[in-house]
Chain A
């Protein structure tokens, strides 16, 4: 009986050593750390929801942003993220198998399952790095208006997105990137976009099958495509060419979209990375036989809790960032 109080326990109630919640100190502290960390992530995701509800009519569509799969060309929305989700759940399974083997004091199995968990974590972190690189590089390019809105381009014949490289005109270019060694002030500037606003505008004017797509969502949840006259009128507002993404602006739409992408998946990726590091430490401890001498594998259980938590957070990030 867990709940019954025996006389001996009553005697040392104030002397320490009680376990009112039936868990050791370390495990309990891991649980409470997880609670506080969960609140941090909830803060991130809730503020994402705040910004999204604020700009509900113009928010980028995640399906159209995350369409790449390594080694494959083409349009595959969601597949790679779903694969990453599966990898993380799978590594959660090997972790819980390691915990289970630890309970039964099977050292070699713990080693095997911990190893597989680390591999899974490494694949996930690597995938996330690739996802970041793809996101930062961008694929189609866009222009930004005077008011900070993003204008993208579509091909009127196919209805598919048009990359700047497909239609931008080549004009004699006089603008060169400013280096710090040839100015009065010792400052350099960032990389200039491949095309200038004039080249994009000229390309739009000379290609009758290119139309502008605005940020605004229509009733079907798709981006509004302007007709030819509206497009030619709208391009006059263009001020900047945007290729890829950084913390200031991105070609996908609302600036906050990229900011939240970097912060939320970055914070999560950092958790996965530290999880892998902690798993490696425990992995070597298991090999060295530390927990055999200690007669229990509770340490594996504790890092297991952390690892499952990381998986749990990803389930929410996956839903709120990629699906909803």
Chain B
């Protein structure tokens, strides 16, 4: 297993000469993504905070997508998931994705329902 690392990222767009070089390359990429997140979090452009997609601000969608991108590169390159067999990869990755997607769907829908009950029902919390 010592020298059979897959060395290309971005679907072959970037190919590194050694594993060490790939590690530093991924670090640079992750740092840029984090810097973009922080910059957006501090400036909060009005275009992104006033437009919504599926009930959530565009800015928050960008944060979530960038987080998943970071998670992908941490798992694939730092945890060497890229070099594992597809069966191991699928067992480890798809199980939580399926369960968590289900959990998020249930909980957020329920929370939104409760929010509406309190907002539109005959209750006030203004004291």
Same complex for A and B? Answer: yes
What are the residues of chain B within 8 A of A299 when measuring CB–CB?
Answer: none
In the complex, the answer to whether A323 meets B37 with C-beta atoms within 8 Å is: yes
- Interface code B52-71, partner A: CB below 8 Å = 1, 0 otherwise? 00000000100110110011
In the complex, the answer to whether B108 meets A49 with C-beta atoms within 8 Å is: yes
Cα-based distance from A77 to B95 in the complex (angstroms):
36
In the complex, the answer to whether B115 meets A315 with C-beta atoms within 8 Å is: no
Within 8 Å by CB of A89, from B27, B111, B114, B125, lies B27
In the complex, the answer to whether B115 meets A56 with C-beta atoms within 8 Å is: yes
Within 8 Å by CB of B27, from A31, A90, A147, A220, lies A90
In the complex, the answer to whether B84 meets A324 with C-beta atoms within 8 Å is: no
In the complex, the answer to whether B78 meets A96 with C-beta atoms within 8 Å is: yes
In the complex, the answer to whether B23 meets A50 with C-beta atoms within 8 Å is: no
Cα-based distance from A63 to B126 in the complex (angstroms):
25
Q: A23-B84, A92-B74 are in contact. Are A50 and B110 (CB under 8 A)?
A: yes
CB distance from B108 to the nearest CB of A (A): 5
Q: A54-B115, A55-B115 are in contact. Are A46 and B100 (CB under 8 A)?
A: yes
For B104, the closest partner residue in chain A by CB is: A46
For B81, the closest partner residue in chain A by CB is: A31
For A147, the closest partner residue in chain B by CB is: B127
In the complex, the answer to whether B27 meets A93 with C-beta atoms within 8 Å is: yes
Cα-based distance from A63 to B42 in the complex (angstroms):
8
Cα-based distance from A86 to B18 in the complex (angstroms):
23
In the complex, the answer to whether B49 meets A221 with C-beta atoms within 8 Å is: yes
- Interface code A10-44, partner B: CB below 8 Å = 1, 0 otherwise? 00000000001111000010011011001100110
Q: A46-B104, A319-B37 are in contact. Are A35 and B115 (CB under 8 A)?
A: no
Within 8 Å by CB of A35, from B96, B110, B125, lies B96
In the complex, the answer to whether A53 meets B78 with C-beta atoms within 8 Å is: no
Q: A2-B85, A22-B84, A23-B84 are in contact. Are A46 and B67 (CB under 8 A)?
A: no
Interface range, A side: 35 or more
What are the residues of chain A within 8 A of B60 when measuring CB–CB?
Answer: 324
Cα-based distance from A55 to B111 in the complex (angstroms):
8
Q: A89-B31, A147-B126 are in contact. Are A49 and B38 (CB under 8 A)?
A: no
In the complex, the answer to whether A42 meets B127 with C-beta atoms within 8 Å is: no
In the complex, the answer to whether B34 meets A324 with C-beta atoms within 8 Å is: no
In the complex, the answer to whether B88 meets A23 with C-beta atoms within 8 Å is: yes
- Interface code B99-119, partner A: CB below 8 Å = 1, 0 otherwise? 110011001101110110001
What are the residues of chain B within 8 A of A42 when measuring CB–CB?
Answer: 96, 99-100, 103
What are the residues of chain B within 8 A of A34 when measuring CB–CB?
Answer: 92
In the complex, the answer to whether A46 meets B103 with C-beta atoms within 8 Å is: yes
Q: A22-B85, A149-B125 are in contact. Are A315 and B74 (CB under 8 A)?
A: yes
Within 8 Å by CB of B30, from A47, A89, A221, A319, lies A89
What are the residues of chain B within 8 A of A77 when measuring CB–CB?
Answer: 41-42
What are the residues of chain B within 8 A of A198 when measuring CB–CB?
Answer: none
CB distance from B74 to the nearest CB of A (A): 5
In the complex, the answer to whether B64 meets A324 with C-beta atoms within 8 Å is: yes
Report which A residues bind B (CB closer than 8 A): 2, 20-23, 28, 31-32, 34-35, 38-39, 42-43, 46-47, 49-57, 63, 77-79, 82, 85-86, 89-90, 92-93, 95-97, 99-100, 103-104, 145-147, 149, 220-221, 237, 301, 304-305, 308-309, 311-312, 315-316, 318-319, 322-324
Given A145-B127, A221-B44; 18 other pairs, CB 8 A cutoff? A21-B84, A22-B85, A22-B88, A39-B99, A46-B104, A49-B111, A51-B111, A53-B107, A92-B78, A93-B24, A100-B23, A104-B2, A147-B125, A308-B75, A309-B79, A312-B71, A312-B75, A312-B79
3 closest residue pairs by CB, A with B? A53-B111, A21-B88, A50-B107
